[in-house]
Amino acid sequence: MLLIDAYNLLHVTDVLPTEHADIDVPGLVSLLQATRYAGTPTTIVCDGVRPGVGHGGPSATVIGDAKVLYAGGGREADDEIERLLEVTSHASRLLVVSSDKRIQRAAKRRKAGWTRSETFLEEIARDLDRKRAEPLPKWVHEIPLGAEQVSAWMAEFGLPEDWGPRVTEAEAAVEEAAEHTKLDHGKPSKGRSKEANKPPTPVFELDDRTRRLIEEHAIDPDHLDMSQWL
C-alpha cells in the first residue's frame, strides 16, 4: 500500500518527462495507473483544506483508485501522515513516499517501508518510458512472411532490396535434378535396366545361428540376397 506526501512529491522537478512535469493530484493518480503501482491501494495526503468543501476541517475524497486526504486548516500533510502511521495496524505493509526527514523517522519508528519522492518519481519515469515503446506489428509472428513483411524487415535492418541468398548454377542444377527425381518416383524409365528398376532387397535381422555361420565361413552379409539364392 502507498502512503504519499502529495505536495512533497509534486514539488520535485526535472525527473518526469516534460509532458508530465506539472502534474497535480488527479494527474498523479492517472500516472500511477500506467506504472508498476497500478491497482495498489493508495492514500495521497495533502496540506490544508480541500477546495470547495466550505469548512476548514479535515476531509477526504476519492480520485480514480486513490483515496485523497486533506489535513485541514492549520495542519500539514506531515501531521496527518504521522497520525495514520500511529493508528494503522498494518504499518509494515505500507510504503511511505516522502523526502521529509520527519516523515522518514515516523515510518522507521513504525517499521513501515519508505522511499524518497525523487526515487519514487524515477521509478514512474522508467515505467512510462517502457510504456512508450512501440509494440511490434502482429505480422512479425507470422511464418512464412509475405513479400511486404520481408521488405519491412529488410528496411528495418538497412538491407538493400536485392539482398538475399544467391543460388549458384551448380546448386540450381542439383535442385532441378531433385525435382525430376520426385516426378519420376515409382515410374520405371525406358532407359533403365531391369536391375535398376528392381526393388531393393529387404533387410532381415539375423539370428544367432546364422550370425555364427557368417563369422565361421567369412561370408559377406551383403551377399545374403535371398532372391539370388532362390
pLDDT at 4 over 50: yes
- pLDDT at residue 230 in the model: 45
Query: Which pLDDT tens digit goes with each residue over 11-65?
Result: 898 888 877 778 899 999 999 998 999 999 999 999 999 988 888 889 999 999 8
Q: Calculate mean pLDDT across residues 165-169.
A: 55
Q: Calculate mean pLDDT across residues 150-176.
A: 65
Query: Which pLDDT tens digit goes with each residue over 119-136?
Result: 999 999 888 888 665 566
Q: Calculate mean pLDDT across residues 137-163.
A: 68
- pLDDT at residue 173 in the model: 62
Query: Which pLDDT tens digit goes with each residue over 62-111?
Result: 999 899 999 999 899 999 999 999 999 999 999 999 999 999 999 999 99
Query: Which pLDDT tens digit goes with each residue over 193-220?
Result: 555 555 555 555 666 777 776 677 666 6
- pLDDT at residue 190 in the model: 54
- pLDDT at residue 86 in the model: 94
Backbone φ and ψ of 92, nearest 5°: -65, -15
- The residue type of 115 is T
Question: pLDDT class for 180, splitting at 50, 70, 90?
Answer: low
More confident residue, 137 or 227: 137
DSSP per residue, 50-97: PTTSSSSS-EEEEETTEEEEE--TT--HHHHHHHHHHH-S-GGG-EEE
Domains in the chain, start-ordered, CATH in brackets?
Answer: 2-132 (3.40.50), 169-229 (no CATH)
- pTM equals 0.56
- pLDDT at residue 191 in the model: 52
